[in-house]
Amino acid sequence: MQRLGIRKPEPDAVSWVDRMKASDVIVAYGEVKLPRQMKGKLTLEDLKPLIASSMIYYHLMVPKMKRAGLRRLILPLGLGEFPLVFGILQFVKIERSDYSILLLLGIIAAWMIFSLTVLRLYMFGYVKGLFFEADFQAASLVGKEALQGSLGKIRDQGLEWKHPLARLGFRPRVNERIERLQTARE
């Protein structure tokens, strides 16, 4: 952990957890949590790059994500409140008519579209990018081939979570992680 620039104590426990994606490894509170479906399928050498990437993500990227949340999520949503409040105040001033109800519904719909767009950009753009950034840093420490090999074994053994909505998640799939590592500059 010292090589990663993390000043937290080394994890001292390992547990196997159900209902986790095979490529997810959680390192938190002095414990490494591994997906149960990987038990006996990957060697310790295969797990090391995944653990390194996870340690970088949870100890370096998550604090970065929390700090950036103010600027990338809270601030735009807060600024978006002004048109919403202005529109509602205008609605109060207008006489009650069919037009005013449609205006209010339009304002609410526009606010919902705006807020969902901001949230989507934050979750699928910024947060997903932090996983890739953690992979790049881990690849520079443990070797790009080692990390690609570990991810490749997960993909080749069919251990990746096959939920129909998994592609809509903000965590990258194994294939996405491998492709990003392959296209990364040396």
pTM: 0.76
Distances in Å between the Cα of 63 and the Cα atoms of 67, 83, 168 are: 6, 31, 24
> What per-residue confidence (pLDDT) applies to 44?
84
- Domain extents in the chain: 13-183
> What per-residue confidence (pLDDT) applies to 27?
82
Instruction: Answer for the pair 150, 120: CB distance below 8 angstroms, yes or no.
Output: no
> What per-residue confidence (pLDDT) applies to 146?
92
What are 84-104's pLDDT values in tens digits? 888 778 777 776 676 777 878
Give pLDDT < 70 ranges for the chain: 1-9, 95-96, 98, 161-168, 185-186
> What per-residue confidence (pLDDT) applies to 4?
61
